[in-house]
Amino acid sequence: NATPVAARENAAGAAAANTPAAIKPDEVVPLIVIDDVPLTDAIRNLARQSNLNFQFDPRVTSSNQPNVSIRFENVTAPEALNAVLDNYSLQLVKDPKSKIARITIKDPKAEDPLVARIVQLKYSDPSNLVSIVKTTLSPRSTVVADPRTSQLIINTTEKELDNVAQLIEKLDTATRQVLIEAKLLETSKSPSSIRGIDWSGTLGGQKFSFGNNLQQAPVDSLDSVNQPLATKFPKLLVDTAKGFNPTTAFLDADGVNAVLSFLNKDSDTEVVATPRAVTLDNQTASLAVTKAVPIFQITPGSANSPAGATITYTNLGVILHVTPRIAADNNISLKVIPEVSNIDSKDEQTLNGLANTANIYAIRRIETSVMIPSGNTLVMGGLVNDSRTKQYIKVPILGDIPFAGLAFRHETKTRNKQNLLIFITPTVVDEGDFQASTSGRVFLQSRPLESPEPKETVLDSARPYDWTKPSH
């Protein structure tokens, strides 16, 4: 009573009349209907729609086959075939060499087979997605990144593969970008005033000697006319051979020496830098306006090798690190690290009997995080360095005499003020912003507000007085 194979196939084809025969394997079929057809006939029909060469395992055809009734909408023929096989504990084993598949009984204890798929990424870095994708897969699965082609090689089961594909589709999106516009304004003012008479040359270190003044060679030299008892000044020379000549009791001193100062100096410096850059969301942009300052490293010499020196460079100036992160409602979270450095002074130390001089660097640094709307400006200040120095030199008692004491006093006043203002404007870049343009964006035109400076008199300023301005 067995029905011939051709007849069974015709019956299955008639039962699946709603399934077109010319549909491509990967094309979605609007409706697949198989009504009360033996399982093997339904598999043959779906395999033919999938353009699949296959054969049955004898264990499948030797057993009694149930009748199948299915109704699938908007699926492909391979998806419908896999659903039927999985429902009846069957599996499709493909042979890559012969290209003939085999339908056999699924081992209930066997794990799902692993399949490999290559996923082409559009925007994301494959190395960054490897760690994320691995956490969603079973321990048997593997994910390998190919940075050269921006592809992911995924080896996992069919069930996990669909979930991974959806995850990658959501993560592999275009990263938004932020335009960072900065304006760095640094002003420095260095006035100095020197007034009075400095008597340090006379009273600060007066050297004198009493004797017949026959000292010609250095004190510690054997060629000296007189061998003194002391080897350093001041000294007392006694010449017994010529002590009665007219030069006995001759006093030799440095004499009177004074410096008259009445001078003002003034210098103003203003440095304006307007760097700008476009960076990806949550990526750091570095804006630097610096100078490369040499650093000399001296190697002392020895008996077999001469002394030498190597030169390295360090960057001094204004360095600005900005990390934007686009938040909700077109706001931008900024992590800002400005740093200002310069040579402040010099330090001299004696090591192993040798005097070594090195620079002292002044570094001003701020690290902060803020949230501002896109297109608004963040103003940062407070990086102010204001040093004032006053130095007085006075002859005791004489410098305290009213009026006349001015001739015995010396006064020096210096000031070094540096102020840095930073303006940062982050703007979210839209797709329409990338177009040819000759104008670009307009930089900030506003001038920073500064604290009022005290009014300078004619005696305190080095600039010529403007007689056109009223005195009040």
Rounded to 5 degrees, φ, ψ at 236 are -125, 120
In angstroms, rounded to a whole number, what is the distance separating the alpha carbons of residues 230 and 37?
130
Where helices occur in 38-116 by DSSP H, the ranges are 39-49, 58-62, 77-87
- Mean pLDDT highest for which of 28-32, 222-226, 439-443, 461-465? 28-32
In 3D space, the residue among 394, 389, 449 whose CA is nearest the CA of residue 414 turns out to be 389
In 3D space, the residue among 168, 166, 177, 156 whose CA is nearest the CA of residue 125 turns out to be 168
CA separation (Å) from 52 to 87, 259, 363? 19, 109, 73
In a 10 Å sphere around its CB, with 0-12 CB exposed, 13-18 middle and 19+ buried, how is residue 414 labelled?
middle
Span of 26-35, 278-287, 347-356, 446-455 with lowest mean pLDDT: 446-455
* pLDDT at residue 298, as a whole number: 76
In angstroms, rounded to a whole number, what is the distance separating the alpha carbons of residues 210 and 248?
9
CB 376 within 8 Å of CB 420 = no
Q: At what angle do helices 126-134 and 158-171 cross, to 10 degrees?
A: 130
* pLDDT at residue 22, as a whole number: 55
Res. 472: pLDDT tops 70: no
pLDDT tens digits along 202-218: 887 776 655 544 555 55
Q: How confident is the model at residue 322 (pLDDT cuts 50, 70, 90)?
A: very high
* pLDDT at residue 460, as a whole number: 67
Find the Cα–Cα–Cα–Cα dihedral 158, 163, 164, 168, rounded to 10°.
140
CB 84 within 8 Å of CB 43 = yes
CB 68 within 8 Å of CB 34 = yes
Q: Which long-range contacts (CB under 8 A, 24 or more apart) does 112-115 make?
A: 112/157, 112/158, 112/159, 113/157, 113/158, 114/140, 114/141, 114/155, 114/156, 114/157, 115/155, 115/156, 115/157, 115/158, 115/161
Rounded to 5 degrees, φ, ψ at 169 are -65, -35
* pLDDT at residue 245, as a whole number: 39
* pLDDT at residue 248, as a whole number: 45
* pLDDT at residue 19, as a whole number: 45
In angstroms, rounded to a whole number, what is the distance separating the alpha carbons of residues 372 and 330?
9
- 3-state SS of 207-238 is CEEEECCCCCCCCCCCCCCCCCCCCCCCCECC
How many residues belong to the chain? Answer: 472
* pLDDT at residue 234, as a whole number: 43
pLDDT tens digits along 72-113: 999 998 889 989 988 888 888 888 788 888 888 888 777 878
Tell me the domains of the chain and their CATH numbers. 28-105 (3.55.50.30), 115-174 (3.30.1370.120), 180-190+261-443 (no CATH)
Res. 372: pLDDT tops 50: yes
Q: Among positive and negative, which fits the CA dihedral 75, 78, 84, 89?
A: negative
In a 10 Å sphere around its CB, with 0-12 CB exposed, 13-18 middle and 19+ buried, how is residue 430 labelled?
exposed
Beta carbons within 10 angstroms of residue 34's beta carbon: 23
pLDDT tens digits along 399-412: 889 988 888 898 99
Q: How confident is the model at residue 143 (pLDDT cuts 50, 70, 90)?
A: very high
> Given the structure tokens 């005033």, which residue do they identify?
193
Q: Which residues on adjacent β-strands are paired with residue 291?
A: 316
In angstroms, rounded to a whole number, what is the distance separating the alpha carbons of residues 4 and 12?
12
Beta carbons within 10 angstroms of residue 186's beta carbon: 20
Q: How confident is the model at residue 23 (pLDDT cuts 50, 70, 90)?
A: low
Rounded to 5 degrees, φ, ψ at 218 are -55, 155
Q: How confident is the model at residue 13 (pLDDT cuts 50, 70, 90)?
A: very low
- Kindly tell me the number of DSSP H helices and DSSP E strands found in the chain: 7, 22
